[in-house]
Amino acid sequence: MELTRADLSLGRQSGLLSGLRARGHLLALGAVLLLAGFLRFYNLSALGEGNLYYTAGVASMLQSWSNFFFVAAEPGGSVTIDKPPLGFWLQTIAAFFLGLNGFAVMLPQIIAGLLSIVLLYHLVGRQFGRWPGVLAALALAITPVAIAADRNNTIDSLLVLALLLAAWAFIRATETGKLRHLLLGALIVGLGFNIKMLQ
């Protein structure tokens, strides 16, 4: 039996459709990430320098290693910011490379927010399927309070990412029974407390 060109073309189209079905969730996740990026970066300059208290702290931290290490709230280094250091260290590193401006101090939170969307997709997708994972990612991507937190230099988005990473590590620990995943989860929770102490 001889295959005609029409049969071959139909076979290719069928293969393409099955490939799209198999990878459709990835295309949907990509669309969710594009939407999330747009919502987080759109007109970011209108927000100015973000929370001026924290931006002033980052400016102070850029002036000396001592101010950086102790998260100094003012150039003299006698007063510290009212939060733990890790999130502000990330903002200071971004400001060192990009200059002290609103974009630089907000960028770590935006990146953390986008990574949280991907991680939530992974966590939900592993337990309940890929499409529920896409829906969970979409919910986080368009939740107004998540967008507002990501578009600011408060450090809540970094804490959310740390907690999602810890959840991933603890889930892996229960699945594999390996101590290293449990310890990794504990380490990430500790890092989370050095981002923001749930206050």
Q: What is the pLDDT of residue 13?
A: 59
Q: Specify if 86 maps to a domain.
A: yes
Residue 99, classed as helix, strand or coil, is coil
Q: Specify if 7 maps to a domain.
A: no
Rounded to whole angstroms, how far apart are CA atoms 85 and 97?
19
Q: What is the pLDDT of residue 197?
A: 78
Domain with 31 in it: 25-193
Q: Specify if 63 maps to a domain.
A: yes
pTM of the model: 0.87
Which residues sit opposite 72 in a β-bridge? 80
Q: Specify if 141 maps to a domain.
A: yes
Q: How many domains does the chain have?
A: 1
Rounded to whole angstroms, how far apart are CA atoms 165 and 189?
9
Rounded to whole angstroms, how far apart are CA atoms 17 and 100?
49
Q: Specify if 127 maps to a domain.
A: yes
Q: Specify if 95 maps to a domain.
A: yes
Q: What is the pLDDT of residue 24?
A: 87
Q: Where are the beta strands (DSSP E) in the chain?
A: none
Q: Specify if 100 maps to a domain.
A: yes
Q: What is the pLDDT of residue 55?
A: 96
Alpha-carbon dihedral sign for residues 180, 184, 185, 186: positive
Q: Where are the beta strands (DSSP E) in 68-189?
A: none
Q: Specify if 13 maps to a domain.
A: no
Q: Tens place of pLDDT for every residue, the chain, 199 residues? A: 555 665 545 556 555 556 566 688 899 999 999 999 999 999 999 999 999 999 999 999 999 999 999 999 998 888 999 999 999 999 999 999 999 999 999 999 999 999 999 999 999 999 999 999 999 999 999 999 999 999 999 999 999 999 999 999 999 999 999 999 999 999 999 999 999 976 6
